[in-house]
Chains A and B, each alone.
Chain A
């Protein structure tokens, strides 16, 4: 499909991004509910979603704060979950690097898994797009998603306080995380990284300040990187 103007690139982005509402809305809703269960009020919950806009990192921070982990550990763990954004940022740079800096800053603020994935796939299909058209597509792709993220957080926070006990909502966070991890286990290296992380986290659970999680995270990354090297060497020989 050809895109002649930045305007049509924007609307193509909106169409490509719209299906992700179905993914983002339930997550935002769940975050609102879980945050309310953790004692946050509606405004705090909304502020969390507006300032951070990162579901997995928000759930991580919330969980660790409830465990009374030190603030440094809360931040380090949640930012580690968000490190993939640096990867997205690096991979978008060749496409969007030539646009004005305020647009890049805005694009950075609204960078989420879905907008990144659908934009980078569109750029790979459309080599002839100008940087301005690529940026227009990007803004189009986030347009349906970001307002839904804010709005459904509020809805979740409002219904969260009305949720009856006995719904076992304590387990909403583990189920959500497992559901996000499982499809990401694409290669042997990913599976090895996740397995190492589980084993290390369980072994080092006694370490104070939730440092066991940091050990598990670093250990998992090293194992993943090493297994990737090993499998690519085997593939070459």
Chain B
């Protein structure tokens, strides 16, 4: 991991505001808006939030791993591609994690 020192003030600000924000997102329709329908275009964009944000977060970590000082690393790239392939083929999150971790350790052992 990069810099282990996360400022405590920042940490608690994030925990509390992220907690409030997450509750707000979960409560907004169920609690406040009732059963008024949402515009189609809003629902259409909401459907893709997770698959639009998480890949963008992961891609730089795979291509420029912090542990190797930002140099493309074969074991990590192979592990990422294995996880993607197994997850896509099996639709099983845990199978994908274990396959990816297995590939990572195998490659680190072989190339290490």
Contact = CB atoms under 8 A, between A and B. Distances in A.
Interface of A: 22-23, 26, 37-40, 44, 47-48, 51-54, 56-58, 60-61, 63, 65-68, 71, 74-75, 77-90, 92-94, 96-97, 101, 104-105, 107-109, 111, 168-185, 189-190, 193-198, 200-202, 205, 212-213, 216-225, 228-229
Interface of B: 1-6, 10-19, 21-23, 25-31, 33-35, 38, 41, 43-67, 75-76, 79-80, 83-88, 90-94, 96-97, 100-101, 104-105, 108
Nearest to A107: B30
Contacts of B2: 66-67
Contacts of A190: 48, 51
A197 B30 contact: no
A54 B104 CA distance: 26
Contacts of A225: 41, 44-45, 47-48
A182 B83 contact: yes
11 contacts: A52-B18, A65-B6, A74-B14, A89-B25, A174-B58, A181-B50, A182-B85, A185-B88, A224-B48, A228-B47, A229-B44
A198 B59 contact: yes
A111 B30 CA distance: 11
A89 B28 CA distance: 7
A166 B86 CA distance: 25
A77 B47 contact: no
A220 B1 contact: no
Given A93-B33, A168-B104, A198 B55 contact: yes
A213 B84 contact: no
Contacts of A23: 93-94
A217 B56 contact: yes
Contact of B83 (A92, A178, A220): A178
A217 B52 contact: yes
B42 to A, nearest CB: 9
A228 B56 CA distance: 20
Given A108-B26, A179-B83, 10 more contacts: A51-B18, A63-B57, A78-B21, A79-B21, A109-B26, A180-B93, A189-B48, A197-B54, A202-B63, A225-B44
B100 to A, nearest CB: 4
Given A171-B79, A178-B84, A86 B41 contact: no
A48 B15 contact: yes
B18 to A, nearest CB: 5
B94 A196 contact: no
A194 B14 contact: no
B35 to A, nearest CB: 5
A104 B30 contact: yes
A191 B14 CA distance: 31
A61 B16 CA distance: 12
A66 B3 contact: yes
A190 B55 CA distance: 11
Contact of A66 (B6, B56, B80, B83): B6
A168 B10 contact: no
A100 B75 CA distance: 53
A217 B100 contact: no
A39 B58 contact: no
